[in-house]
Amino acid sequence: MRWLPDPSESSVRQAVAAAAPRLANARIELPPDIDTSNPEWSSSTAIVDGSFIVKFAWSEPGARRVFREALVLKALGRVVPELPVPHTAGISDDPVAFVTPLVRGAPLGFEDMRRSSRKDRAAIADGLASFLVTLHQSLVLDAVRAAVPSLVAPDPQGRTGAIRARLPRFLDRRRADLVLGWCDWVDEILRVPAPQPVLAHGDLHGFNQVWRRSSWTLLLVADFEVAGPADPEYDFRYFPSQEPTLGLVTAIRERYMSLTGRTIDMKRALAWHIRTALGDALWRGEAGVPLPGGGTPATYVDDIELKLNVVTRP
C-alpha cells in the first residue's frame, strides 16, 4: 500500500491513472480548501472529467481508511446493488485511490427540515429509513466482514470522560450540571451491548447525503470511511440535530421498525446523539471553529435538554 506525497494536482493525477487509467489525462478539479494539518484525516476528493469523483490520501492513516472504504463499497455493490451508494469504477492500492461516478444533487441541510412541508418530511424519512433497512440486513454485514478483513467498529468523536472534564468551561453552572448528569446516563445506557450488530454507515449526517430536492428522493449516501459493525441506533445519532424537535428521528424510527420488525431504542439513539453533539461542541470550542448554524456549546445543551424532556429526563 502506498499513498500520495501531497494533495497536489500532479499527485492526484497519479492516483487517477492508477485507479482508472482511461481517465489519466482528464481534467481534474481539486477542492479549494484541502486541510493538510491532521495526518489521520489526510484524504480528500476531486472531480474528474466533470463526471467522476476520485478519493485519495496522502498519509498512512488516511490511506488505510480510504482503501478500506473502497473495499466496503465494492462489497456493497456486489451484495446490495440497489443501495444508493458510490459504485466503484476503479480501485488502486499503489497509490491508494478509488473512482466513482459523480452523482449531482443537494445535501440535507439544517434549514431544509425547517422549511419542508409534511409531504417532504415524509419523503425524507422514508428515504433514510429505506436506506438503513437495506444497509442493516445481516447478510450485508456478513458479506462486508468477509471481504474487508480490516473492518473496524465506528467510534464517535465524543467520549464522556473528555466531555465531563473539558466541556463545562464553555458553559454556565446550570448547563454544566446537566452535561455531567447526561454523561452518567449515556454511560449507563451504552454499557449494555446491542443484541446484534449491523453494518453501520457510521457518519450519516446530512452532508454525506445527496438528494433530488424537487421530490426529496435520496440519490446517494457517500463517505463510508468509518463504516463498520455497530448497533443500528448508532446510525440514528445525527437525526435529532436536523431539526428543533424529534419529529424526523421519530418518523425514520417508526418507518424502519415497520419494515424490519426490529426495535430501535430511542434512548440508545439519543445517548449516541448526546456523545456526538457534545463531542462536536467540545472539539470545535477548543479549536475555535464555529459550530454549524451559528450555534454555541450552550445552544447545543439547550437543544438536547428540550429533546430529552420529550422522552425521559435522565
Same domain, yes or no, for 43 and 148?
no
Mean pLDDT over 13-36 rounds to 94
Looking at 70, 101, 132, which one is the last position of a domain? 101
Give tens-digit pLDDT for 228-284.
999 999 999 999 999 889 999 999 999 999 999 999 999 999 999 999 999 999 999
In this model, does residue 314 exceed pLDDT 50?
Answer: no
Looking at 101, 135, 169, which one is the last position of a domain? 101
Same domain, yes or no, for 73 and 140?
no
Instruction: Identify the domain containing residue 82 by its residue range.
Output: 9-101
Cell of 251: 418518523
The count of domains in the chain is: 2
Give tens-digit pLDDT for 279-307.
999 999 998 988 888 889 999 999 999 99
Is 195 part of a structural domain of the chain?
yes
Which pLDDT score, from 0 to 100, does residue 294 have?
A: 84
Average pLDDT taken over every residue of the chain: 95
Is 86 part of a structural domain of the chain?
yes
Same domain, yes or no, for 25 and 63?
yes
Which residue has better confidence, 24 or 313? 24
Which pLDDT score, from 0 to 100, does residue 309 have?
A: 86
Same domain, yes or no, for 78 and 123?
no
Cell of 248: 424526523
In this model, does residue 119 exceed pLDDT 60?
Answer: yes
Is 4 part of a structural domain of the chain?
no
Q: Distance of CA 121 to CAs 85, 210, 213, 219, 247, Å?
A: 22, 16, 11, 16, 9
CATH (domain of 56): 3.30.200.20
Cis bond before residue 240 (omega within 30° of 0):
no
Give tens-digit pLDDT for 56-106.
999 999 999 999 999 999 999 999 999 999 999 999 999 999 999 999 999
Is 239 part of a structural domain of the chain?
yes
Same domain, yes or no, for 16 and 131?
no
Is 2 part of a structural domain of the chain?
no
Say whether pTM exceeds 0.85.
yes
Same domain, yes or no, for 126 and 248?
yes
Strands of the chain, DSSP E: 28-29, 43-48, 52-57, 90-93, 96-101, 198-200, 209-212, 217-221, 228-230
Same domain, yes or no, for 291 and 263?
yes
Same domain, yes or no, for 256 and 286?
yes
Residue in 260, 285, 32, 20 with CA at minimum distance from that of residue 158: 285
Give tens-digit pLDDT for 203-229.
999 999 999 999 999 999 999 999 999
Which pLDDT score, from 0 to 100, does residue 1 have?
A: 93
Which pLDDT score, from 0 to 100, does residue 279 have?
A: 96
CA-based angle 200:286:58, to the nearest 5? Answer: 55
Q: Are 265 and 253 in contact (CB under 8 A)?
A: no
Q: How confident is the model at residue 198 (pLDDT cuts 50, 70, 90)?
A: very high
Same domain, yes or no, for 59 and 133?
no
Same domain, yes or no, for 145 and 82?
no
For residue 240, the SS3 value is helix
Same domain, yes or no, for 64 and 124?
no
Same domain, yes or no, for 184 and 244?
yes
Which pLDDT score, from 0 to 100, does residue 312 have?
A: 63
CATH (domain of 196): 3.90.1200.10
Looking at 76, 101, 126, which one is the last position of a domain? 101
